[in-house]
Amino acid sequence: MTKRIRKGTVAAVTVLLAAATACSGQPAPGEAGRQTAAGEAGQGAGGVAADKARAFTLVASGDILPHSSVIDRAAADTGGPGYDFRPMLKGAAPVVSRADLAICHMETVYGEDGGPYTGYPSFTSPPEVAQGLRATGFDSCSTASNHTLDDGAGGIRRTLDALDKEGIAHAGSARSAAEAARPTFLKAGTGKHAAKVAHLAYTYGTNDVPLPEGQPWAVNLIDEQKIVADARAARRAGADVVAVSLHWGTEWQDEPDEKQLTLGRQLTAATSAGRPDIDLILGTHAHVPQAYEKVNGTWIIYGMGDQIAGAMINYEGAQDPRGNQSSLGRFTFAPPREPGKRWTVEKAEFVPQWFDTTAGRVVNLNTAIDGGADHHREVRDRIRDVVLGRGAAEDGLLMGK
């Protein structure tokens, strides 16, 4: 991970457990709230009955990367002891909370209650981050990144425990082999007609930190065959939609690299019984916004950028404002006209964001511009140009608010 400007105080394969009722419940750590592998009664492996299903929106955001300066800001925002990440995420809440499902990327792991907490190069973040994510409206977070093993198995355990406590589902790392073997299922909507969404997550590596001894399942590593196998297993278990989070790509590169392009083509080409195995790919890691593209009929976000991060230094040793630019992806999925067919994205959107490192706040750039903040227009337009750089507008991608 790249350096940030101000110093302050303050990685196996498989899919992990999460709560099927994460949108509304409080699962006990690691177990409660998870849907059974067979899906809901009367639905079988096809998920919700096609004639009863309703469209739903899914929102996804980029990396949550609390550098020391971000941690310090959260401490200042409490007005007392502890840390409060809710104010810095408040600008994203209107978009996130209005979605039927919202997925974040939790890049770092959490430290012990009370700290000490650290930023780059080996991150341990306050568990209060989870409270901020919940207050913003996130339902699930990918937890597979190159920093997943920054504090060993203990960091994974503390992170997943804190997310469980807040009722946030998670995918990509695990506390046990049994947990790792179970898909993460989410409900989109309410009642028996809610769509069943599988969330899977993987990372390219763990900064050369070895997996904990005897725990090859601790974090999911990117492997094409394994990802497809996991997606097919989730579909057999009743998933209507399969969303895959991938921590991949080349840092500070606006364009997706060849590995991203190749893996994206391979994953979106995988089908079973004439139906794609994967319905959406959500990319993180590069620090900068990257393009959206429809490949083999499936939307890929190559990189959303950093939703929260301190002021960043790129590989050339210069402060790089792109490290605080990002997009939110928003996709409206419509149910199939007959059982066993694919849920389709009837509307695809992106929302440009910026993290103001001085104020420590996420800014929805379109909302800011509408409010008269014209100085954000140049940043908004740069994000838009990158996001649309691979022809996504021709496939209907819109800039939303």
Report the CATH superfamily, name and number, of domain 44-399: Metallo-dependent phosphatases (3.60.21.10)
Peptide bond into 116 cis (omega under 30): yes
The torsion angle over the Cα atoms of residues 178, 143, 91 and 4, rounded to 10 degrees, is: 160
Residue 104 in contact with residue 50, Cβ under 8 Å? no
Kindly report the number of other CB atoms within 10 A of residue 205's CB atom: 16
Kindly report, residue by residue over 29-39, the tens digit of the pLDDT: 333 333 323 33
- Indicate the pLDDT class of residue 47, thresholds 50, 70 and 90: low
Q: Which two tokens stand for residue 97?
A: 């909370």
Burial class from Cβ neighbours inside 10 Å (0-12, 13-18, 19+) for residue 378 reads: exposed
**Residue 84: which of 21, 116, 128 has the closest Cα?**
128
- Indicate the pLDDT class of residue 383, thresholds 50, 70 and 90: very high
| Phi, then psi, of 378 in degrees rounded to 5 | -65, -40
Query: Taking 60 as the threshold, does the pLDDT of residue 56 lie above it?
Result: yes
Residue 161 in contact with residue 170, Cβ under 8 Å? no
List the chain domain ranges. 44-399
As a whole number, mean pLDDT of residues 128-139 equals 98
Provide the 8-state DSSP code for 320: -
3-state secondary structure string across 56-94: EEEEEEEEECCCHHHHHHHHHCCCCCCCCCHHHHHHHHH
pLDDT at 6: 30
Give me the percent of the chain exceeding a pLDDT of 90: 82
Lowest model confidence (mean pLDDT) among 19-23, 113-117, 318-322: 19-23
| Rounded Cα–Cα distance for residues 170 and 185 (Å) | 9
Kindly report, residue by residue over 240-297, the tens digit of the pLDDT: 999 999 999 999 999 999 999 999 999 999 999 999 999 999 999 999 999 999 999 9
Kindly report, residue by residue over 75-119, the tens digit of the pLDDT: 999 988 999 999 999 999 999 999 999 999 999 999 999 999 999
Q: Which two tokens stand for residue 229?
A: 């196998």
Residue 330 in contact with residue 400, Cβ under 8 Å? yes
Q: What is the mean pLDDT of the chain?
A: 89
As a whole number, mean pLDDT of residues 70-74 equals 98
CA 98 from chain centre, in angstroms, equals 17
Kindly report, residue by residue over 332-382, the tens digit of the pLDDT: 999 998 888 999 999 999 999 999 999 999 999 999 998 888 889 999 999
User: Structure pTM?
Assistant: 0.89
pLDDT at 44: 36
Which helix or strand (DSSP H or E) is residue 161 part of?
helix 152-165
Residue 62 in contact with residue 307, Cβ under 8 Å? yes
Q: Which two tokens stand for residue 367?
A: 């909302």
As a whole number, mean pLDDT of residues 185-211 equals 93
Q: Please, which residues bridge with residue 138 across strands?
A: none
- Indicate the pLDDT class of residue 193, thresholds 50, 70 and 90: confident
Query: Taking 80 as the threshold, does the pLDDT of residue 51 lie above it?
Result: no
Residue 187 in contact with residue 238, Cβ under 8 Å? no
| Rounded Cα–Cα distance for residues 93 and 351 (Å) | 12
Query: Taking 70 as the threshold, does the pLDDT of residue 1 lie above it?
Result: no
Tokens 């009929």 -> residue: 297
Q: Which two tokens stand for residue 64?
A: 């949550």
| Rounded Cα–Cα distance for residues 288 and 365 (Å) | 16
Tokens 């979106």 -> residue: 268
Tokens 């601790």 -> residue: 218
> Cα Rg for the chain, rounded, in angstroms?
19
Residue 305 in contact with residue 327, Cβ under 8 Å? yes
